[in-house]
Amino acid sequence: MQVSDWIALLSAFVAILSALYARHSVQEARRANEIGLHNEKLKVFKGILDLRAKLSANGINIKEYELFSFYEYVQLSEFYFNKRIYEKVKDYFDDAWEVVKLRGLWEAAEEGDKKKEIVQKTHDMLRQAREKAGTLETMLKEHLRISET
């Protein structure tokens, strides 16, 4: 082998090492970005937990202004989570909003069968929202878990 062959072989070896290092750097950069987004995802998760606590504590008596203080987390979830999780978050919020609306109808309704129907629907919607909250919390925890240990 001539010197030029050795140089070419050495250059190929260096190129392979460089490609491996670049691949490793890309993986580490992705991991760093994911960790950087983790705090924002946690903020959304904590907001959803706060909404769950508020809905559990106040039940059908939750006020519209109290509920809408959590709407920011619904909007942020669209950017930080996959579509499936975002839709679950939005669906949960929509159920809570439905409880608020039904409660308003309930208060405006006169005594009778119509009011009883609205009262029952309100309690059913609240129960449904509480069930969805547990499922949503589990999904978010799985998504937010950084390590498998």
Q: pLDDT for 20-78, tens place per residue?
A: 999 989 999 888 888 888 989 999 999 999 999 999 999 889 899 999 999 999 999 99
Tokens of 122: 């309100």
List the domain boundaries for the chain.
39-144
The mean-pLDDT minimum among 87-96, 105-114, 119-128 falls in 105-114
Mean pLDDT, the chain, as a whole number?
90
From the number of C-beta atoms within 10 Å of its C-beta (0-12, 13-18, 19+), residue 84 rates as exposed
Sign of the Cα torsion 21, 27, 30, 32 reads negative
- Describe the crossing of helices 71-80 and 3-58 by its angle, rounded to 10 degrees: 160
User: Cα Rg for the chain, rounded, in angstroms?
Assistant: 26
Q: Per-residue pLDDT for 145 more than 90?
A: no
Which runs of consecutive H residues, i.e. helices, occur in the chain? 3-58, 64-68, 71-80, 83-108, 113-144
Q: What is the mean pLDDT of residues 123-127?
A: 91
